[in-house]
Chains A and B, each alone.
Chain A
Amino acid sequence: MAEQDARRLVALLSSDDRRLETRWVEVVTSTLGGRMSRAEIERELSEFYRALEAALRSGDTDPHGDAFAEVRALLNELSRNRARQGFTPSETAVSVFAIKQALEPDLVKSSDPQAILDYLGLSQLLDALGMFTVEAYARAREEIISAQSEQLLELSTPVVKLWEGVIAVPLVGTLDSARTMVVMEKMLQALIDTGSEQAIIDITGVPAVDTQVAQHLLKTVVAARLMGAECTISGIRPQIAQTIVALGIEFGDIVTKATLADALRHALGRSVGDTSPLTARRR
């Protein structure tokens, strides 16, 4: 679009701008149903309005260009705030699209065909900005969800100290690769934090194990050994044992026990015999 188009759009926006802005604020306020104060909305939209005008005054109409950097930054912030407050994508994008609604009364009254072209031009621009808003909103939501699942992961993977020198990690539920890795890292760190030399990974509460998870468990045991500790896996049910064998995964000399109790007994046996060759085993 040419520079004159940009100037006409500015004219469109700034003609009788108090009225336009007021209408715009009204549309947005009514959509948000009282969850945001009018004063807040006014402040937000007025900032955006000024930035939009300024960008158009520079003669550029490309929403992705440098002239619109401030507009994009403002929309980004607006989207993030809405996302955090729990508004829907529509409620967020309406802030942009509402300008069109605000302009419509004037358009209907006008008999100038140029006015329609100008409106269409502005509409295109606003559509692009609206899409940008939705994308920024989506990114913000993803970040929030990801932070929440991290917190959930933290809460659901406790490492317990069973005895002096023995910690246990009871795994419950379906294990996926990502979760297993997090749990294993926590366990290794717990060995250091508690000064324990033995860890028991209990998978009684795990219905199924796939290759990746089995390999993660294996790697964790090897890592624990490298650090100077020892690991036992307990709670392997018949189906899981079959799956592991069928997958061709070698557990080598890693000790596995049917129950957590057996594993604890075994671990304590190792600890008591502190001078046993096992603790001084070469890596």
Chain B
Amino acid sequence: MSPESAAGTTVTVAIGAAGDVVLARQSARNLALDCGLSLIDQTKLVTAVSELARNTLIHGGGGGMRASIVRDGVRRGVSAVFEDSGPGIADLDLAMTDGWTSGTGLGLGLSGSRRLVDSFEIDTVPGRGTSVAIVKWAR
């Protein structure tokens, strides 16, 4: 089911410091522009990337993002995969139903990010790390 990456479009961003979250956003935005995503879709994608990159940094202890333009038959989209070798998520179900508050709190923002994108896959092993893969298609 995995869409194929368009050759030469892959961008890799190491996420080790706060400034890298900004880099991840910019990379995602550039790919979104190349892909012809609408402004709203661009905003949603980049916001999701920001959330997930931040998660990778703060909860995953650092890691990286690999983003590229993908095709699935006729349509094109942006794919981004976030990986870290952090503590992983112990209770994934709970994390995915995490309600949002604007206060402090763990707020992994996973459920929110999922609503912003078209496909969202998460793989986590407590003690080993987490990987989140998202795709946003151009309409």
Contact = CB atoms under 8 A, between A and B. Distances in A.
Interface residues of B, dominant DSSP: loop
B40 interface: yes
A178 B74 contact: no
Interface in B64-117: 74
A132 to B, nearest CB: 14
Interface residues of B, number: 3
A185 interface: yes
A142 B139 contact: no
Chain A interface, DSSP helix/strand/loop, else mixed: helix
A184 to B, nearest CB: 10
Contacts of A142: 74
Contacts of B40: 181, 185
Contacts of A181: 40
Nearest to A178: B139
A273 to B, nearest CB: 29
Contacts of B139: 178
A161 interface: no
A185 B74 CA distance: 26
A139 interface: yes
A219 B111 CA distance: 17
A146 to B, nearest CB: 9
A178 B139 CA distance: 10
A117 to B, nearest CB: 35
A218 to B, nearest CB: 14
Interface string A66-97: 00000000000000000000000000000000
Interface in A162-196: 178, 181, 185
Interface string B114-139: 00000000000000000000000001
A181 B74 CA distance: 23
Nearest to B74: A139
A200 to B, nearest CB: 22
Nearest to B139: A178
Nearest to A184: B40
B123 to A, nearest CB: 30
A136 to B, nearest CB: 11
A64 B114 CA distance: 37
Contacts of A139: 74
Contacts of B74: 139, 142
Interface string B47-61: 000000000000000
Contacts of A178: 139
Nearest to A143: B74
A142 B40 CA distance: 22
A139 B74 CA distance: 8
A142 B74 CA distance: 10
5 contacts: A139-B74, A142-B74, A178-B139, A181-B40, A185-B40
Interface of B: 40, 74, 139
Interface of A: 139, 142, 178, 181, 185
In the complex, the 5 A-B pairs of residues with the closest C-beta atoms, listed nearest first: A185-B40, A139-B74, A142-B74, A178-B139, A181-B40
